[in-house]
A and B are shown apart, each in its own frame.
Chain A
Amino acid sequence: AQKITQTQPGMFVQEKEAVTLDCTYDTSDQSYGLFWYKQPSSGEMIFLIYQGSYDEQNATEGRYSLNFQKARKSANLVISASQLGDSAMYFCAMREGRMDSSYKLIFGSGTRLLVRP
């Protein structure tokens, strides 16, 4: 079974609108971390946001927020007020296990977002 599932290979959004990128995960660990990365066409991996499994509040970083639904095992990324520069590939990733003893990130297959002017 896939550990990280991103079911949307590609999405469009109109500039200035909000968009939600879906991510579901599968783990039996109680302690884990969830990450979102942005990969523009230039190829670098840019960290966007992090949510720990014990964090009670949803993580937010500027226009990015993570809609964390633990019981459903979902960690959707919400981008508010989309900008043309948000057009990129977005990856959801998970660290299984405790931060001080687990080091591997497991990545989903990504969602390509295109922002329309």
Chain B
Amino acid sequence: NAGVTQTPKFQVLKTGQSMTLQCAQDMNHEYMSWYRQDPGMGLRLIHYSVGAGITDQGEVPNGYNVSRSTTEDFPLRLLSAAPSQTSVYFCASRDKRDEQFFGPGTRLTVL
């Protein structure tokens, strides 16, 4: 099992550009989520999904879109990047025992 994978590991964008952060898991977990971690802070929930076709907003959803067409994939789209979105992004999936498995993270810088 690869667990939770994320691509890319690093990305630099200019203000106004759009991009998609990829996330995939091979553990057949229904629940997946996206968090962001700003310097010196804990993680904050952006969006989550409880299964294919079902998504909902978390604590800080503005500027991001998600979709869940398959159980395995949960991409995060930045519509028009802003410097305030400079952060480390973590994707996670959760098993039935309530344990969350995190991906390695994507470090995003918006200039």
Report A's interface with B, CB cutoff 8 A. 4, 33, 35, 37, 43-45, 47, 50, 52, 91, 93, 95, 99, 103-110
Contact = CB atoms under 8 A, between A and B. Distances in A.
Interface of B: 31, 33, 35, 40-45, 48, 50, 58-59, 88, 90, 92, 94, 98-102, 104-105, 107
B66 to A, nearest CB: 14
B90 A45 contact: yes
A106 B35 CA distance: 10
Nearest to A43: B105
Contacts of A52: 98
State the main secondary structure of chain A at its contact with B.
Answer: strand
B102 A44 contact: yes
Contacts of A37: 102
Given A45-B90, A103-B48, A4 B102 contact: no
A52 B97 CA distance: 11
Contacts of B33: 103-105
Contacts of A4: 42
Contact of B48 (A104, A107, A110): A104
